[in-house]
Structure 1
Amino acid sequence: MSVLRAGNTTLEDGKVRICVPIAYETEKEILEESVRIGKSSVADIAEWRIDWYQDVFQPRKRNALSRKIRENLQGKPLLVTFRSRREGGERDITPEAYQTLLDEVIESNMADLIDVELSQGMACVQELIKHAHQMGIGVIVSQHDFKKTPEASNLITTMEQMAGYGADVCKIAVMPQSLADVAALLLATGTMKENHPETLLITMSMGRTGCVSRLCGGLFGSVMSFGSMGKASAPGQVSAKELSDVLWAIERAVN
């Protein structure tokens, strides 16, 4: 069974962890949310969306804030993500600036996990994975499509590419235009897990139509689902408490 340790928890097959985003501009808002996550009985992981942070390109402020966040999380792991605008984030960024920023994040040891966008290119992705692993940091390689859902075979090929680059976790998020698209995402997840049981997956279909994938994705092989406590970071995200209730009910039913 595949297992990735992060902070005081693990990502592993058969157990869906709840990740709560921190998507705010100011230090005050960010710290308040990190306190709520640290005290929460349902949040397993926090994702700091640094593309939202107003001083993201000021290393001293960013690193000092990350230390405070980690203290507030009380041992819960911190996933650090800069989501580029083309993949649904708040800021435009060049591939060179993206790599420099994440290299700084890795070197400062401010994260237990980092998110690396597949679209930044093979060289960037592989170099960031190598650097992160040298520092003992796990890597989620991600791809987001806010317009459509590719065919299941294409989604599988993308996840295989991520795994081939050395990703610890392969993440796919797509936008459905129909219920068939949601089924395609779940089919791709299940098929990938059957063909590559050693690979950890996070997959989701976004928006109202795809919301069910966030709830039942664990049955197909997804090991993490995102739930909000404050500001949602993606369309279709449900509250962490509601997500926890549904995941508990599903786990009880299948076990």
Structure 2
Amino acid sequence: MNTTKIVVTLSGHNDDEIKAEINKAKDSIDDFDIVEIRGDVFDALNREDHGKKVRFIIDSFKPLNKEIIYTYRTAREGGSGSKTTVEYEALLKAVCKSMDIDYIDIEVQSGDKITASVVETARENNVKCLMSNHDFKRTPDTEGILSVINKMDKLGGDIYKVAYFPKDEKDVIYVTEAVKTAKAEYGDKVVGISMGALGKRTRTAVGEASSVLTYGFVARDAAPGQIHVTELRKIFTK
């Protein structure tokens, strides 16, 4: 039985885009389990207005029994976030304290001290920690990927997400093999993505190579190779 949960990524920048994405998501409400809010798209806003946008999205889906992931993806990991590490830490801790979220995405490359600080705040507020690492330029070999996942485990993660851009088929295999090995050790806590068209099958893998989460879209893809949530649901219910 497949246990992969489908995450819909919302990345609208302004009120019109946000409302349009919410409406599209509600039209496909049975095709996803979790909503990911990309806070980095609100980078130009002050903290108060940022919070209003995030709360509006949360309030749109929490009554529909959807879990929420808050993600602030920095520019170094493929997002549009430009905050300093100090600002990044403060934002994630504030979101854990003030928002009704289920998961906080923490980029482990932000540093062990910052990660530990956010994890502590998350635990105090019953928020799960989704450790993440993205590289749009290269894919480590299987051992390299496993070392990142092992670090995520040591830092107290609840879910370990790695996403890399492949240059060739070998890179896709590195990700697939790492997922298999990490799942055997840690159970259903691993998300392994090989981005772009070449690695698209990692987003729909089943069995021993399946991820605990897969990310899709309803209006616009937020990462190379993302698949519409309706198509994902069809694949995972075959």
For residue 16 of structure 2, what is the aligned residue in structure 1?
Answer: 28
C-alpha distance in 1, partners of 2:121/2:150? 21
Unaligned runs of 5+ in 1: 1-12, 250-255
Structure 1 residue corresponding to 2:149, chosen from 159, 171, 178 = 159
C-alpha distance in 1, partners of 2:185/2:43? 42
For residue 207 of structure 1, what is the aligned residue in structure 2?
Answer: 196
Give the conservation status (yes or no) of the 8 Å contact 1:207–1:235: yes
Give the conservation status (yes or no) of the 8 Å contact 2:204–2:210: no
For residue 219 of structure 2, what is the aligned residue in structure 1?
Answer: 230
Give the conservation status (yes or no) of the 8 Å contact 1:35–1:72: no
Deviates more, 1:31-40 or 1:20-29: 31-40
> Equivalences for 1:67-146 in 2 at 5 Å?
67-73=55-61, 74-146=64-136
C-alpha distance in 2, partners of 1:221/1:236? 16
C-alpha distance in 1, partners of 2:124/2:15? 29
CA RMSD of aligned residues (A): 1.7
What SS is found at the alignment partner of 1:41?
helix
TM-score by length of 2: 0.93
Give the conservation status (yes or no) of the 8 Å contact 1:142–1:170: yes
Residue 64 of structure 1 pairs with residue 47 of structure 2 = no
AA partner of residue 100 (structure 1):
A
Aligned residues: 235
C-alpha distance in 2, partners of 1:77/1:183? 31
What SS is found at the alignment partner of 2:133?
strand
For residue 231 of structure 2, what is the aligned residue in structure 1?
Answer: 242
AA partner of residue 53 (structure 1):
F
C-alpha distance in 2, partners of 1:87/1:54? 15
Unaligned runs of 5+ in 2: none
C-alpha distance in 1, partners of 2:124/2:236? 34
What SS is found at the alignment partner of 1:225?
strand
What SS is found at the alignment partner of 1:103?
helix
Measured after TM superposition, the shift of residue 172 of structure 1 is 0.2
Relative distance call for 1:97 and 1:213 in structure 2 (3 A) is: same
Q: Percent identity?
A: 27
